[in-house]
Copies of this chain bind each other. A is one copy, B any other.
């Protein structure tokens, strides 16, 4: 009935062989690249920069807010770069960075894996 508080008897406690208290590299990588839409956005930018509303249309399903949140996060993580072009009606372009490009192989592998296993 009573709660089992942690007694001083450590002798019988089993220890983990290799506990990972910190998120491991896999977890950390997933946080950067695994967010919803992140992969898709990067994929859409791989050939050329894309403008905000075009991206919104291409990713039919992501709202402007979500898209905007994600773009900001991706910019912070240096996966993409936001560029304002001061033409008469100003335009904004999002383009993939060199760093962002380093994730493409990996995303392609994921894409192939998904298709291969009909996920």
Contacts and interface: CB of A to CB of B under 8 A. Distances in A.
Nearest to A26: B39
B105 A109 contact: yes
Instruction: State the oligomeric state as a number of copies.
Output: 2
Contact of A29 (B4, B50, B103, B113): B113
A85 B19 CA distance: 24
Which size class do A's interface residues fall under?
Answer: 35 or more
A8 to B, nearest CB: 5
A57 B15 contact: yes
Interface of A: 4-8, 10, 14-21, 23-30, 32-34, 36-37, 39-40, 43, 48-51, 53-54, 57-61, 85, 89, 91, 93, 99, 102-103, 105-107, 109-111, 113-115, 117, 119
